[in-house]
């Protein structure tokens, strides 16, 4: 028989405190209250069918196919069936509130920030030596060596080396401003002149520029971003005060904190 370790709610609170998780926890609680109170003020209602669908989505997201798996998951997270319904309710409430507040703003936001959603397919090698980078750049331009050969010789990461320096599809925000400016001004496929940053000297081939489309996936992304930013702004307006069982006592410790 295994030993049993009993952990009280005081232990849990103390751990949250000493692991410095209280601020993030308070922000999450404040966010939940803002969603609930705003939805009530905006008279947003949840139908039974919507709640059931949200519950089904929650089970699917956590791979809870069988009833037994759901019960085990509830026990693991110390949740009741009512708690499970509360989670599903908050999920659908958040989605409906986001749609209510920002659905009609998605299109205008997309066209105002269209460049931010552009993507680029690139290959990249980063060197420490500017003179070597320029030498390699001109050698590549002359076709005397391939980019894959350069990648095999100078890239340390095995996976990226095997892929010939392939970086995948990256957004403008993924790059430093000076690199983004050069990449998105390129005429693919194009080798761009080495760029110096604190990371080193970047040799980049721009294979493709992907122009964004306002499809359903993009709408969901923008809607989520607008809603998240709004929530952060609303939380920042509040002075959140935690009422804990014990007050913070004056410092009495052998540890020197202030010098």
Residue 254 confidence (pLDDT): 46
Model confidence at 249, pLDDT cuts 50, 70, 90, reads very low
Q: What is the CA radius of gyration of the chain?
A: 26
138 within 8 A of 212, measured Cβ to Cβ: no
> How do the domains of the chain map onto residue ranges?
9-108+217-237, 119-210
Q: Which percentage of the chain shows pLDDT scores above 70?
A: 93
Structure confidence by residue, pLDDT tens digits, 185-237: 999 999 999 999 999 999 999 999 999 999 999 999 999 999 999 999 999 99
14: its two tokens: 């103390």
Instruction: Show the tokens assigned to 137.
Output: 């750049």
Contact in structure between 235 and 31 (CB atoms under 8 Å): yes
pLDDT tens digits for 14-73?
999 999 999 999 999 999 999 999 999 999 999 999 999 999 999 999 999 999 999 999
CATH class for the domain made up of 119-210: alpha beta
pLDDT at 116: 87
**Letter string b/e over residues 65-96, b meaning 16 or more CB atoms within 10 A of that residue's CB:** eeeeebeebeeeeeeeeeebbeebbbbbbbbb
Q: Please answer whether residues 124 and 204 qualify as being in contact, where contact means their C-beta atoms are separated by less than 8 angstroms.
A: yes
Per-residue pLDDT of 156-189, as tens digits, reads 999 999 999 999 899 998 999 999 999 999 999 9
- In the chain, DSSP finds a helix count (H) and a strand count (E) of 11, 4
Nearest residue to 44 via CA among 95, 88, 104: 95
- Confidence (pLDDT) at 247: 53
């Amino acid at each position: 028989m295994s030993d049993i370790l009993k952990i009280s709610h005081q232990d849990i609170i103390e751990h949250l405190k000493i692991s410095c998780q209280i601020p993030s926890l308070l922000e999450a609680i404040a966010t939940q209250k803002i969603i609930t109170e705003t939805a009530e003020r905006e008279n947003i209602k949840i139908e039974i069918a919507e709640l059931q669908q949200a519950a089904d989505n929650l089970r699917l997201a956590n791979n809870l196919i069988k009833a037994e798996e759901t019960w085990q998951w509830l026990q693991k997270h110390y949740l009741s069936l009512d708690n499970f319904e509360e989670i599903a309710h908050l999920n659908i409430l958040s989605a409906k509130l986001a749609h209510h507040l920002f659905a009609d703003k998605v299109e205008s936001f997309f066209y105002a920030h269209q460049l931010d959603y552009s993507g680029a397919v690139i290959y990249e090698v980063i060197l420490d030596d500017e003179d070597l980078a320029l030498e390699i750049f001109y050698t590549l331009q002359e076709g005397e060596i391939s980019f894959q050969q350069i990648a095999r010789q100078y890239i340390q990461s095995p996976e990226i080396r095997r892929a010939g320096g392939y970086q995948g599809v990256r957004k403008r925000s993924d790059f430093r401003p000076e690199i983004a400016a050069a990449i998105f001004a390129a005429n693919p496929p194009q080798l761009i002149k080495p760029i110096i940053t604190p990371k080193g000297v970047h040799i980049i081939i721009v294979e493709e520029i992907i122009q964004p489309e306002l499809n359903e996936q993009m709408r969901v992304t923008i809607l989520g971003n607008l809603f998240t930013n709004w929530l952060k702004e609303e939380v920042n307006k509040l002075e959140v005060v935690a009422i804990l069982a014990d007050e913070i006592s004056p410092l009495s410790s052998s540890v020197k904190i202030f010098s």
